[in-house]
Amino acid sequence: MITTVSTQNNSVILNNIRWDTYQCLVKDSAEQPNKRLTYDQGILEIMTPLPEHETYKKLIDRFVLIMVEETNQEMRSLGSCTWSRQDLKQGLEPDECYYINQEKAVRGKLNIDLNFDPPPDLAIEIDITSSSLNRMAIYEGLGVVEVWRFDGQLLRIYQLVEGKYQEDEGSRLFPFIKGEDIISFLQQFEKGEITLIKAFRKWVKEQI
């Protein structure tokens, strides 16, 4: 029997959801990018992102693209792709995710299976409206190597070390950048998105 655990302004949590039901909902919501599903052992959270959430998500995504370009790397960007593993009975959709170091392993693949393929190198988590589920624990289970988590004020960088996340001052994918550097640019978004992007690219070039 499906029961509603709780509801918030932009999310609802359902209990007693079977894995097969979750997978069907993932497929049904594929054409509704304004819905984000998180599943953890029978509990399903359905969240609708707010404008503030989407603003920061897109800015950080542009920052990552610039850093990859300016460091002459390749990447596979998979946005809010659903990642799940039936053996863990866990799944989620990051705000953004990328293969960078492992890009060659998934190059050209349209179907990526975490039972056989490596997990993304980087996931972006905008946590302005906190999830009721422990999404970081799900990222750990899935094996995502690095997670950037922004709560509206601070951007924390986590590295997966022996199966557990440890907070780090900076990124291992982009050693020249720290969480505080990203924050300093996010705080300037009122200048205009294109102006900010140009300023960030100039700053990255100076660092490398």
Each domain of the chain, given as residue ranges in start order, spans 50-207
Q: What is the reported pLDDT for 190?
A: 85
Report which residue type is found at 2: I
Contacts of 22 (CB under 8 A, 6+ apart): 37, 39, 44, 84, 91
pLDDT tens series, the chain, 208 aa: 555 555 555 788 999 999 999 999 898 877 666 788 999 999 999 988 888 888 999 999 999 999 999 999 999 999 999 999 999 999 999 999 999 999 999 999 999 999 999 999 999 999 886 666 899 999 999 999 999 999 989 999 999 999 999 999 999 999 999 999 999 999 998 889 999 999 999 999 999 9
Q: Which residues contact 47 (CB under 8 A, 6 or more apart)?
A: 10, 11, 35, 36, 37, 38, 129, 131
- Which residues share a beta bridge with 6? 13
State the burial class of residue 35 (Cβ atoms within 10 Å of its Cβ: 0-12, 13-18, 19+): middle
Order of strands, sheet of 11-15, starting from the edge strand that comes earlier in the sequence: 3-8, 11-15, 43-47, 36-40, 90-92, 83-85
The answer to whether domain 50-207 has CATH 1.10.1060 is: no
* Four-CA torsion 107, 175, 145, 188, nearest 10 degrees: -90
pTM listed for this prediction: 0.91
Predicted local confidence at residue 9, as pLDDT: 58
